[in-house]
Structure 1
Amino acid sequence: MCRHLAYLGPDTALGSVLVEPGHSLYRQSWAPRRQRYGTVNADGFGVGWYAEGDPVPARYRRAGPVWADLSFADLARVVRSGALLAAVRDATLAGADAEAAAAPFAAGTWLFSHNGAVTGWPRSLAALARTLPAADVLSMEARNDSAFVWALVLARLRAGDPEGQALTDTVLEVAAAAPGSRLNLLLTNGDTITATAWGDTLWYLTEPGVRTVVASEPYDDDPRWQEVPDRTLLAASRTDVLLTPLKDPSTHLAPAPPKETGT
């Protein structure tokens, strides 16, 4: 499990979004308020951000807890951006991938994070691995469930699918193969944010034309935060937020036979 956040808005210091709010992502690494699974997110962290004039984001990731990294404190104080995605990580399973397993994952203009866990990993998704080109599997940054989910999303994005369709189809595919998975996905290209609420909390805060924040949980007590219903796709820009219900594949079952009635 983990906590994550994406921001679109005026250029601001990373710390003003990630560290300074009373219940910031930084604080959520040891004291989340709405986390349903796990209690401490100390197995790594990362932030990706966009610089003006460069569509390819920069990343800073580490394997340990964010509170122990003094270099991040300096970076967050002085680096400014109008678009970012960050996460703090609680590993589902022990592994040796270190910072490579920490979100955000990246390719081209995209940054991606997964808040949740795939049930039965890795065996539950073995069949899905065969749907990917071998090069995609071999080039995964890490050997955890989040990296694999990212590989599925990225394959769809590279095939030309819109962000919302890529996330939706991946969530439904993984949920069908591994029922009970928690699949809160978060994706940004620096201009938009796309996310899914599937098994865990997701909130958003928007000031149309000014800023939009999408996060696992509110980072302050602003009453304008709104919770995203479970099984929902969120598509956001700096001006608006659109919510679309998602259908759970477990509900697509054959109808029960009619009950016998006495005569």
Structure 2
Amino acid sequence: MKYTKRILTISLGLALSSAAISANAIDWWQLGNTKVGPQKTLQEVHQYFKEQFPKMTLAQYALGSYAFNKQAYQQYQEAIQFNPGDLTLSQGKALWNKKFPDGKTYSSCFANGGKGVAAGFPYYDNKTHQVVTSAMRINACRVENHLAPLKYGSSPLIALQTYFGSLSNGMPTDVKVAGPGAVAAFEEGKAYYFMRRGQLNFSCASCHIAYAGKYLRAQIISPLLGQNAHYPTYRSAWGAVNTFQKRFMGCDKKVGAAPQKLQSSEYRDLDYFMTYIDNGVKINVPGYRP
């Protein structure tokens, strides 16, 4: 299902009820305009959050909700000293360096052995006309070396994605959107992000733009900006490391919508849009979240 055309017809209805919008809210739903293009969208989103939180630096957005509460940030600092996600990271490193039957390793499939490469993922492939994620590229590497692909969402694949992501730690996200196909995929992801759905009639933007930095029940809502910089991440609610798309599934379920499948075109386009918005935010994998 494609969303770009539909988003144009509902853009004026994207706002929450007046009780759910803060008095000083800037027209956040206008950020969902699919006619302005990727570059302007990025500029407008970054400017929106700069106006909302003028004291926040770009680097702080990688902290998500922890950036909005000193006590929570102190707890985060303590937690990452012994991040349980580091176990998954170690498992991923071992798998990454394990030789294939032909003697090669995963590093043979990536430029510079994979170092710094994740900063540009996901990317749009003009040959296959689709967004390619790290999970897809890792599986393609296996096939190229005569091994069966791993199941999306499986522990070995998550571990490999985690290690691959860590090879870009400290580097700013640098996703490219160039050419008609890439722009179309970006706009589909953007449309999905702003489309209200489910029993609660919420969009991703309803929480992570309109309510960013505010409390929803007892939880501070993280902003769109910076959300992918720490994925794959360890979440105590999961008791495990998991991926950005796993989080998409959880959010769709919470608003009463049927989730898409992992690595579906909808979730890959959404991933593409959200990660492009993170451009400039430094990567820190695996992250840690409550």
TM-score, normalising length from structure 2? 0.27
Instruction: Give the structure, 1 or 2, with the largest relative contact order (CA under 8 Å, sep 6 or more).
Output: 2
TM-score, normalising length from structure 1? 0.29
Give the structure with the larger strand fraction: 1
Give the structure with the larger helix fraction: 2
